[in-house]
A and B are shown apart, each in its own frame.
Chain A
């Protein structure tokens, strides 16, 4: 009897000890802030460093792309619809050029080309300087898109082209519709 009581006591003390010690282990994650939101840095087209946390309080779409990716160009048209539908008070789009061989000038020229055709890509563009691509790529293809909620937590991600609200005729019926995903957060 005494033996079993001793065993129970030891087990109980062990659980307490393990629980206490685990509370002292550093569980910080460089990618997550105190509220569990994601964090990354990028270089804006003005050359200044910016962070995902600068946009807390808004839904953020991270769009990973490059100038040589033609599907990414189509994605820009759909993101333009998203941006102008919801407005910058509710949503922010951060389009990050993941090709570290490309330059700010190339990105600016890309934006200017769209503008010549009457399409304003007037959200945030930036360059990947701290391996955003390494952290967030899915299977290595672009465009790849993430939707973060207002606290910076990942709500949705997708690799491939997605559309704003209507699937064009002839496209697969399982094409991702961004409005459905964004409305889940509003």
Chain B
């Protein structure tokens, strides 16, 4: 009698333990990797962000959220864009930077799985890519001996054209 009760209890505990294992078996997604190209983009340029998921099979939608911030601690409103699926767990988005005074861009990912929406990172601080100041053609020789600015060349062509036209008219 005692032996049968003990066997029954062991059986119950075993089944209960198995049940606990099953209900606690949550799919844990490994953190995606984020690559930025170029590594140090210029202000107002276009950069490409690529996200790679190791376990992409259960992921349904992926959005990249990002915003630019200045060195004076002003952040501009965030953008939220769907990424292009390249296959093999890779997704990509081209971003056109919009602010000529931005010092960095910060970004994070939101993705939809069978268990709902998840984010990476889950909360700030978010990864950042610092931006180079945009190089501008000053339009003059400036401090070096490079070719003149394009507007100067255009002006010279216009002046020469006018002189030729006037000369031909006089003839």
Interface residues, chain A, CB within 8 Å of chain B? 66-74, 98-99, 101, 109, 113, 133, 140-143, 159-161, 172
Question: Are B73 and A74 closer than 8 Å at their CB atoms?
Answer: yes
Which one of B77, B125, B126 has the greatest number of beta carbons of chain A within 10 Å?
Answer: B77
Question: Are B74 and A101 closer than 8 Å at their CB atoms?
Answer: no
Q: Residues of A contacting B70 with CB < 8 Å?
A: 141
| A-contact 0/1 string along B64-77, CB 8 Å cutoff | 01010110111111
In the complex formed, the residue of A with least CB distance to B78 is A68
In the complex formed, the residue of B with least CB distance to A172 is B72
Cα of A74 to Cα of B69 in the assembled complex, Å: 14
Question: Are A73 and B73 closer than 8 Å at their CB atoms?
Answer: no
Cα of A140 to Cα of B68 in the assembled complex, Å: 11
Question: Are A70 and B125 closer than 8 Å at their CB atoms?
Answer: yes
Residues 56-104 of B at the A interface (beta carbon under 8 Å) = 65, 67, 69-70, 72-78, 80
Question: Are B74 and A68 closer than 8 Å at their CB atoms?
Answer: no
Q: Does residue B106 face the partner (Cβ distance < 8 Å to A)? A: yes
With A68-B106, A68-B126, A70-B124 as known contacts, state yes or no: A99 contacts B78, CB within 8 Å: yes
Question: Are A159 and B75 closer than 8 Å at their CB atoms?
Answer: no
Cα of A72 to Cα of B70 in the assembled complex, Å: 13
Question: Are B73 and A68 closer than 8 Å at their CB atoms?
Answer: no
Residues 117-155 of B at the A interface (beta carbon under 8 Å) = 123-126
Question: Are A66 and B78 closer than 8 Å at their CB atoms?
Answer: yes
Cα of A99 to Cα of B123 in the assembled complex, Å: 15
Cα of A161 to Cα of B80 in the assembled complex, Å: 24
Cα of A68 to Cα of B77 in the assembled complex, Å: 10
Q: Residues of A contacting B124 with CB < 8 Å?
A: 67-68, 70, 73
Question: Are B77 and A71 closer than 8 Å at their CB atoms?
Answer: no
Task: Give which listed residue, B69, B77, B123, contacts A98 with CB less than 8 A.
Answer: B77
Task: Give which listed residue, A67, A71, A133, A159, contacts B69 with CB less than 8 A.
Answer: A71
List 9 A-B pairs, minimum CB-CB distance, nearest first. A141-B74, A71-B73, A69-B75, A161-B73, A160-B74, A141-B76, A160-B72, A140-B76, A142-B75
Q: Residues of B contacting A67 with CB < 8 Å?
A: 123-124
* Apart from A66-B78, A70-B124, A142-B75: 5 A-B pairs, beta carbons within 8 A: A68-B78, A70-B75, A74-B73, A113-B123, A142-B76
Cα of A74 to Cα of B72 in the assembled complex, Å: 13
- In angstroms, how far is the closest chain B Cβ from the Cβ of A58? 27
Question: Are A99 and B77 closer than 8 Å at their CB atoms?
Answer: yes
Question: Are A72 and B77 closer than 8 Å at their CB atoms?
Answer: no
Cα of A139 to Cα of B56 in the assembled complex, Å: 39
In the complex formed, the residue of A with least CB distance to B73 is A71
With A67-B124, A70-B124 as known contacts, state yes or no: A160 contacts B76, CB within 8 Å: no
Cα of A73 to Cα of B73 in the assembled complex, Å: 11
Q: Residues of B contacting A99 with CB < 8 Å?
A: 77-78
Question: Are B75 and A141 closer than 8 Å at their CB atoms?
Answer: yes
7 contacts between A and B (CB under 8 A): A67-B123, A68-B65, A70-B75, A70-B124, A141-B70, A160-B72, A172-B72
